[in-house]
Amino acid sequence: MTPSAVHDLDPVGRIGRYDILGRLATGGMAEIFLARESGPRSASRELVVKRVLPHVADDPTLVAMFVQEAKLCMRLRHPNICPIFEFGEEAGDVYLAMEWVEGVSLAELAKKAQARGGLPLPVVVRIIADVAAALHHAHTATGSDGRPLGIVHRDVTPENIMVSYDGVTRLLDFGIAKAATQKEKTQTGALKGKFAYMSPEQYQGETLDGRSDLFSLGVCLYEALTGQALYARDNEFETVAAIVLEGPPPSAREVRPELPKHLDSVCQTALAKDRLQRFPTADAMEAALRRWLTESQNVLRDTDVARYVQQLFAEQYARGPKLDRKKLKNQVDTTGPNLSVTELHALNADLDDVEEEMARRGRRKTIAVAAIGFILVVGLLAVLGLALKEGPPAPAPAPSGADADAGAPP
């Protein structure tokens, strides 16, 4: 399906004011649709609509996470972060409208390149440097009052790093990102993120800062350079043990001896188990990577990366996206409020109210369950109290006379 064919597709449904062209993917929290936004005089563009799944819409905590993604991303304006255009609600379902990054993930890119001897070093370094730049922007973002938000992405993985066919890298999915100013804390023991990419301090429940994301990015760098998994094991327990308990990570040069020492050093620094030994900021890691690009005369333009990706995925690029074209179910004609990014800035307090309402609903549900349990306990105690008040049942009278003889054992 070529880009022009996508443009000519008839919609299979509608979410908010967007015509849905088909489903791109479904995840644990949301489904992703390719959509079309139409304007005056036949003006239109393709974009992505991300809508919460039905089971998520009934969970106040998960909905609050989705709203949080909108709140965080609306504050982030960076060429390597996928922008959100709009936050909306329809029939109780919340959704985001965001840029359509037509391309492939770093995971797909590395896997496809294996047959050709792995990814070229300049391509890897350029992609990871761009992600580091995106993370630095997120880590240093401030609120409307000018105070640092302390955003930590917490889910930097090859699947969340997209490289578009135009050669631009985008960091996706701030759905589980955490801001230091966030009111609700993660429940104890609720680990989020991909197991093989989480930092030691993330497993140990410590307060996180941007250096946790740098560890995750270091794992991505190691795997993209070597073509091998670093911490993925047969099960989650072994993966956790490898990250938390094992010694320093192996040198990438053990797998790929021709790697420059400088890049291996960047890997080792980012992957230090003690975060005090890592790069202090994402900006410092980016600078170290770009230094190698400059000194080795391997500075790449977007068009250079685009050419490589388009050639590696020539068939997929020509075909266009795979779409599930089934008609959307449970569509409604009425739509809720549709808020542009500018309006989201102005209505930040309203989004706080949404989170508070979701939290209140959760508390009401908890209180209702507790009340039912309390009533049952009180009822049981009342029954027991009545039984104790009446005393134990009177013993049966001892048999006598003929009855006694009849009942005696032989």
Catalytically active residues, by annotation:
155
Spell 210-242 as b/e; 16+ CB within 10 A means b.
bbbbbbbbbbbbbbbbbeeebbeeeeeeebbeb
Q: How far apart are the first and last CA of the chain?
A: 96
C-alpha closest to that of 121 among 275, 252, 19 = 252
C-alpha closest to that of 291 among 135, 121, 129 = 129
Task: Kindly write down the DSSP assignment for every residue of 21-67, as one continuous string.
Answer: EEEEEE-SSEEEEEEEEE-GGG-EEEEEEEEE-HHHHT-HHHHHHHH
Decide: 59 and 75 in contact? Cβ < 8 Å: no
Backbone angles phi and psi of 273, in degrees to 5: -65, -35
C-alpha closest to that of 52 among 90, 83, 14, 19 = 90
- Alpha carbons 175 and 154: distance in angstroms, whole number: 9
124: enclosing H helix or E strand = helix 121-139
- Alpha carbons 106 and 110: distance in angstroms, whole number: 6
Q: Tokens 């443009």 sit at which residue?
A: 7
* 50-57 LR contacts (CB < 8 Å, sep 24+): 50/95, 50/96, 50/97, 50/98, 51/15, 51/93, 51/94, 51/95, 52/93, 52/94, 52/95, 53/26, 53/29, 54/93, 56/29, 56/30, 57/92, 57/93, 57/94
Residue 74 backbone zone (phi > 0: left; psi -120 to 50: alpha; other: beta)? alpha
Q: What are 402's two structure tokens?
A: 């003929």
- Alpha carbons 221 and 125: distance in angstroms, whole number: 8
- Alpha carbons 49 and 21: distance in angstroms, whole number: 10
Q: What are 47's two structure tokens?
A: 């974009």
